[in-house]
Structure 1
């Protein structure tokens, strides 16, 4: 994932792809936390971006589970 994945990009993905993105983001978060603990992390803002990406993915998954569809206004 780049600096932050947009919700509109995530909405285009299927359930399996969302789960794959979630696994990738969680693994990246684990690695970033490990780097931060050992003092090797250079970009601390990336931690926040990955956490927000994970939250976006969980939100989309829950919306689909409940059958909620959002309408984006122009």
Structure 2
């Protein structure tokens, strides 16, 4: 695979992930975004006014919803 082909595939995958993110609830979008932007569970909890102890559970659920949405997009 050439570098151009790899870049094209990556862009297409990014489009699919972005489309899937738009299909899940806003709170789930924000939790995923904050976590993958390097925020700690404590920082995410403070930002979203949630209990720190619950962030792991919220994140797992959000990722499951994202996977379902992504699977729907991919067919």
Bin for the TM-score computed over the shorter chain: 0.3 to 0.5
Structure with more helix by fraction: 2
User: Taking structure 1 as the reference length, what is the TM-score of the superposition?
Assistant: 0.39
User: Taking structure 2 as the reference length, what is the TM-score of the superposition?
Assistant: 0.39
Tell which structure's C-alpha radius of gyration is larger.
2
